[in-house]
Structure 1
Amino acid sequence: MMKKTLGLMGLIGLLSACSPSEPTLEVSHYKANDAERETKLAWCNESADRKDTVNCKNAEAARRLLVKEAAEEKMRKYSNEGIPRK
């Protein structure tokens, strides 16, 4: 009886490891979809274990790129409006 129970538990463990995972979404997808990026980042921040998933890393990379691009755009805007160049 004990061997059957252990065997069944092992089989369940193997099958659960083979269950389909969520599709991997690219950084470009998260850059283009604000709501989905914010939802994923909130989910990722609920647990330290989640931050190592590919989608959490991609969502965070998209957020960092958007922040960087916004800062660069702001710098371009102010450098073009600032002191006249000779």
Structure 2
Amino acid sequence: MLERTPHEDRTKVTFVLPADGPPGPVSVVGDFNDWQPGIHTLRPRKDGKRAVTVEPGPERAHSFRYLAAGDYWFNEEGDDEHDGSNSRPHT
């Protein structure tokens, strides 16, 4: 699930996943962090989910995927727009 928080010239995006699925560490990897795993690792939050907030930049859409332990790549669930195999939501 994505949570968007608009600011003056850009939107902060919070990437949210359940605490237990998939197991182990998960990071969001995309064009906003040069596809580098581990830069934006999801952390537990008080509601029992895991999340990380990113300021992806002024562009209206960004490509990303999640990377979990064991080199398991996956997309945002329910995301209708894709750039190849990557999720591409509008921010």
TM tier, smaller? under 0.3
* TM-score, length of structure 2 as denominator length: 0.23
* TM-score, length of structure 1 as denominator length: 0.24
Structure of larger gyration radius:
1
* More strand per residue: 2
* More helix per residue: 1
